[in-house]
A and B are shown apart, each in its own frame.
Chain A
Amino acid sequence: MSLIVFDGVSHRYGDRLVVRDVSVRLDERRIGVIGANGSGKSTFVRMLNGLVVPTSGSVRVAGLDPDKQARQVRHLVGFCFTDPDAQIVMPTVVEDIAFGLRRRGLDKEEISERVERALASYGLAEHRDHPAHLLSGGQKQLLAIASVLVTNPDLLVMDEPTTLLDLANARRITELVAGLPQQVVLVTHHLDLLAGYDRVLVFDRGRIVCDAPPDEAVAHYQALMLR
């Protein structure tokens, strides 16, 4: 069974149709999504965990409806946003990583064990008690990713996670993502991050206009931008 299935999906914001009749099945481990600003790519990925509900058509993630079965789907789908400041909820690093686990009702020992493992895995151990707002941009994005991954999602959706980062931090995030066992859907404007991806979707005016391996998709996108 495909983990992700879009069937005739459209979405309208007021008068504007931002996603138009998209049908696609996504089984691959690494999927890139590219397109101009306003092309519909962020709306597309937000439908994966019910943050945006299709105006028509259906979305299924592991056979579940992200709108009607949001709770189950959000346990399966981790979501990282462009601005880590908007998704860091707790004042300190260790508390933010524990936040998602506390809400899942896990016992204290398990939360503590998983948090410590996450702090060590993502290079945040030395910042464990630091106020989150005093971290650098790269560290904040690492924290945001760690806070999502600590809940062990099956699918990680990342909406331009490197846009606000310098090259070194962007590379750090890319390397981290490359080593993850999860299926990853990455929306990005940094085309070089897509090297090694299995499949890349190019969005234009709400439609998928190219669905191909990275080289071909990036060439298509660049031609589109120069038109």
Chain B
Amino acid sequence: MTPIGLYRPGSSLIHRLPAGVKLLALVLAGIGSVFLRTPPQVTAWLVAVVVLYLVAELSPAVLWQQVRPLWWVLVLLGVFHVVVSGWARAYEVIGALVGLVLLAALVTLSTRTTALIDVVVRVCRPLAFVGVDPERIGLLLSLGIRSVPVVVGLAAEVREAQLARGLGLSPRAFAVPLVVRSLRHADALGEALAARGVDD
């Protein structure tokens, strides 16, 4: 599986910034990206993002890994905007989007999941007054992150089994066992969480 956004240990300035600061900066950058109106602004925005990757001591290959899975979305979006509103607008939209994706990836590449979850738990703490358990929200997030590679692995196994049995590209033959195995995994995970005292 492509290592999108997986934490890369390091001691750069970006790594040492508190997770809360990085998340806040990401939110502000998201808001700011709405106001990118001209190609030079977008170019400056992309250059700034690349500089941040350099400061975080992350290689261009890592940067490329974050964008590569999005290529088909970018192509579709680019074609649409070229046809509808011209090259300049296509560049602005795609540039803003790529910059944001790279920034979001930079946060997860330079921050441990537990640190990010701690921030989310802190932010959600006021919700405890209305009966929401912030720790549960944090756990939910970490399980979501953890489950992505597991489900991708299950999908690959199901696909292999499907091909081995000569079932071709049947969506049903792919989806049914994948859903069943994912549910089984969720069941086993629930049992393991209870065994580790999460259900106390």
- A residues touching B (Cβ–Cβ < 8 Å)? 49-51, 70-71, 74-75, 78-79, 81, 83, 85-92, 95, 98-100, 102-104, 129, 131-133, 147-148
Q: Which residue, of A51, A85, A147, has the highest number of chain B Cβ atoms within 10 A?
A: A85
Q: Are B200 and A74 within 8 A (Cβ)? A: yes
Report whether B198 and A103 are in contact in the complex, using a CB–CB cutoff of 8 Å.
Answer: yes
Give A50's nearest chain B residue, CB to CB: B194
* Chain B: minimal CB distance from A58 (Å): 20
Q: Which residue of the partner chain, among B113, B139, B185, contacts A86 with CB atoms under 8 Å?
A: B185
A131 to B150, CA, bound (A): 12
**A95 vs B6: C-alpha distance when bound (angstroms):** 13
Evaluate whether A133 and B188 lie within 8 angstroms (CB atoms) in the complex, with A74-B195, A100-B197 already known: no
B195 touches A95 (CB 8 A): no
Q: Given the complex, which residues of B lie within 8 Å of A70, measured CB to CB?
A: 199-200
Which chain B residues lie closer than 8 Å to A91 at the CB level?
6-7, 113, 142, 145-146
Whether A92 contacts B197 in the complex (CB less than 8 A), given A81-B191, A83-B188, A85-B185, comes out as no
A142 nearest CB across to chain B (Å): 16
A71 contacts B197, C-beta separation under 8 Å: yes
Q: Which residues of B contact A (CB under 8 A)?
A: 1, 3, 6-9, 112-114, 139, 142-143, 145-146, 149-150, 153, 185, 188-189, 191-200
Residues of chain A with a CB closer than 8 A to B3's CB: 131
Of A78, A90, A104, most B-chain CB atoms within 10 Å: A90
Known A-B contacts A95-B113, A133-B149; A86 and B192 likewise in contact (beta carbons under 8 Å): yes
Determine the chain A residues whose CB is within 8 A of the CB of B197 once the complex forms.
Answer: 71, 74-75, 100, 103-104
**Alpha-carbon gap, A86 to B143, bound state (A):** 11
Of A83, A90, A129, which contacts B142 at CB under 8 A?
Answer: A90
Closest A residue to B3 by beta carbon equals A131
27 contacts between A and B (CB under 8 A): A50-B194, A51-B194, A71-B200, A79-B195, A85-B150, A86-B185, A86-B188, A87-B192, A87-B195, A88-B146, A89-B143, A89-B193, A89-B196, A90-B113, A90-B142, A92-B113, A95-B112, A95-B142, A100-B197, A103-B198, A129-B8, A129-B9, A131-B3, A131-B149, A132-B146, A133-B146, A133-B149
For residue B154, which residue of chain A has the nearest CB? A85
In the complex, what distance in Å separates the CA atom of A124 from the CA atom of B74? 40
Tell me which of A79, A87, A98 contacts B114 (CB under 8 A). A98
Interchain CB contact under 8 A, A129 and B7:
yes
Contact B195 A51, beta carbon cutoff 8 Å? yes
Contact call A51/B191, Cβ cutoff below 8 A: yes
Shortest CB–CB separation between residue B7 and chain A, in angstroms? Answer: 6
